[in-house]
Amino acid sequence: KQGIRAMLAVTLKAASGLYKPKDYQEEDYMRAIVLWKLGGDRIATIAHRAFGAPSVTTLQNQLSIPPIIPSPAMPTFIETSTNVMLTFEGLLDALKLRDGARCVHAVLMFDEIATEKRIRWDPKTNKFLGVCREHGHQISLEFGGEKDMEGLFKALDSGEVHYAGEATIGAIGILSDDNRVYASCVILISGDCKQETRPQHAVLIRKVLEAINSQKKNTNIRIVSIASDGEARRGAALAELTFKKPLSPSSPIYEQLSPLTFMNLMVGDDDITADKDWKHVFKRLCNLLLRASGVVVGGVRITPTIIQAHLKAEGTSPDHIRAILNPNDKQDVKLAFDLLQAIWTLPRTTTSKNPTFVQARESLWILGRFLYHTVVPYICIDLSITEQLEHLSAASHLALALYKMEGKHFLPTQLYTDLQLMIKNIFFCVAKAKVDTPEGSFYLIIVGTNRLEETFGDLRTMVGNDANLDCLQVSWRVGSTAAVANILAKYPHWDRPPCRLAIPLLARDMSVIPATVDHLKPRNWKGDTKVKAAVLQTPWRSGRVMAEEVLLGVAELFKRMEDELSSKPVDILSPNGSLLIN
């Protein structure tokens, strides 16, 4: 509001061309916020002066970012519960129950980010940050004077406590197509020295779950799975938390899942399951194929040399073969996809008359079918939820049969179990969605830790790829990454990820979607994702039939395994009767 004098002054400035009123639209604000948060105040000021974007002061009035409390030592219930409350305080409208939903489903994600080894004082909590949670309890981290600081550094010098070389980040990912809640919502920042044991890590995860559940009355959030990459310590902790007991017959999802022959029905409290990030599984499959020892399928050891020979026989260019079999970056998702696709597109027959070559081609074709059914559900945007489940069932049954035949020579036990955990979790999540959100949709692509990886990418954009943040800086900036991610989910055409991180999207005819849609978001998916259309037993059975058509003798193998179920509890995670997960 302005007085008459101020209004007259503005009128005179406008007449002189010194004042130009702006009427900003929502898109103008969103664009300016992205530039401001990723580039800082200076970039935002340049955008304001050069392009007429809203000023930093205007943007500050438009955006409210909740503070995140970093944990100086072992995270407490109060710290984490407060973070949950503050993070979702401004999102309660997006979390309202609609269309008869009982709750809002979400994934709890964990990953680590490298941090600078330095001690910082947090003025909000009056605590020192940058110490590992494993040993931080051995010394006072509250700042009361010079002696507290001296005591801390003496403990660091003696090795009694350690600098945090990385931070464990815990975040909630809402399973929704609403752009307002697309981003991972960070609720935990905790320094780590990598000396934490499995039981200790399980306690940490349990505390975070308890803190989330304490706010359920306000947020309506139900955690349906805990997602991680292939980190061994966390995998063991998740096994402790999500393999507590068999699924109870009184569970609302038992009727849907119990008829699925060979499905593993072990769960944790509230029927929670473990999940492994699908992009990490794809990369590990690719890296396995690049090893000199290769994999064994149908009695044939498939090595990079054999793959090269068969690709060359089908006319693949030497440059492309060299690129996919000798990647400079083992984390390159695009090259990993290219290798997997090159194998599954090999024809079953070959013009060669060499019996060894013909036998190897048959094994490569079988491997290709397994890879195809594993990858396609996540990248073919025309598939319905039922078709996605069919493919995953086929991949699960093929993996079960091949592991039963070849053991660790097909897939290492850790990779095999992670793959089956990933598939199991999808079926459990859909079953829970059919009970809790019967009119809702389910998107495979937002399960896992990919959204947390996007948060890390935005953090690195803010500070540069050649520098790490310390624990305090992570807490300052991580709230901004959520705002950026939600905006880019609404305006995906503004962003393009690095080529090494972008997986090509496929149409139903397996043609590649143009690169204008690099970011795969729920809004890009064209197939029917309504869970009410999916009857789990049907795609599970169809997938088994698809596997039996690929692999000779598998139908008989599965029949024998079924006949032995009463005496030997065989399932996808117990192919020989004993659970592979310890």
pLDDT digits (tens, 9 = 90+) for 498-539: 655 567 788 888 887 665 444 578 888 999 999 999 999 999
Q: Which two tokens stand for residue 544?
A: 């088994």
Overall average pLDDT of the 297-308 stretch: 96
Taking the domains of the chain in order of start, what are their residue ranges? 4-62, 77-275+442-490, 279-411+501-563
Identity of residue 11: T
pLDDT, one tens digit per residue, over 217-265 is: 999 999 999 999 878 889 999 999 999 999 999 999 999 999 999 999 9
pLDDT, one tens digit per residue, over 386-409 is: 999 999 999 999 999 999 999 999
pLDDT, one tens digit per residue, over 423-463 is: 999 999 999 999 999 999 999 999 999 999 988 988 888 88
Overall average pLDDT of the 197-205 stretch: 94
Q: What is the dihedral of CA 458, 460, 465, 471, to 10 degrees?
A: -170
Q: Which residue has the higher pLDDT, 36 or 365?
A: 365
- Residue 56's CB: how many other CB atoms inside 10 A? 17
pLDDT of residue 493: 76
Looking at the predicted structure, is the pLDDT value of residue 40 above 90? no
Looking at the predicted structure, is the pLDDT value of residue 21 above 60? no
Distance from C-alpha of 189 to C-alpha of 415, rounded to nearest angstrom: 28
pLDDT of residue 467: 75
The residues that bridge with 295 in the sheet, in sequence order, are: 302
Q: Is 528 left (phi over 0), alpha (psi -120 to 50) or beta?
A: beta
Which residues make Cβ contacts (< 8 Å) with residue 547, sequence separation at least 6?
393, 394, 397, 398, 401, 554
Split at pLDDT 50, 70, 90, the class of 464 is confident
pLDDT of residue 292: 93
Helix (H) or strand (E) segment spanning residue 459: helix 450-463
pLDDT of residue 518: 44
Evaluated on CA atoms 345, 347, 350, 351, the torsion sign reads negative
Query: Considering only CA atoms, which of 373, 317, 313 is closest in space to residue 344?
Result: 373
pLDDT, one tens digit per residue, over 61-104 is: 878 788 899 999 999 999 999 999 999 988 889 899 998 899 99
How does strand 295-297 pair with strand 300-302?
antiparallel
Length of the chain: 582
Q: Which two tokens stand for residue 483?
A: 């705002």
Q: How high does pLDDT run on average in the chain?
A: 91
| HSE-CB of 149 using CA atoms within 13 angstroms | 9
Chain centroid, CA 154 distance in Å: 39
Helix (H) or strand (E) segment spanning residue 272: none
Distance from C-alpha of 336 to C-alpha of 435, rounded to nearest angstrom: 36
Q: Judge contact between 402 and 245, C-beta under 8 A.
A: no
pLDDT of residue 517: 42
> Which range, of 127-141, 209-223, 328-342, averages the lowest pLDDT?
328-342
pLDDT of residue 17: 65
Helix (H) or strand (E) segment spanning residue 130: none
pLDDT of residue 215: 96
pLDDT of residue 22: 65
Whole-angstrom CA distances from 39 to 32, 44, 471 are 10, 7, 20
Nearest-10 crossing angle of helices 278-290, 413-436? 160
For the question of whether the overall pTM of this predicted structure is more than 0.75, the answer is yes
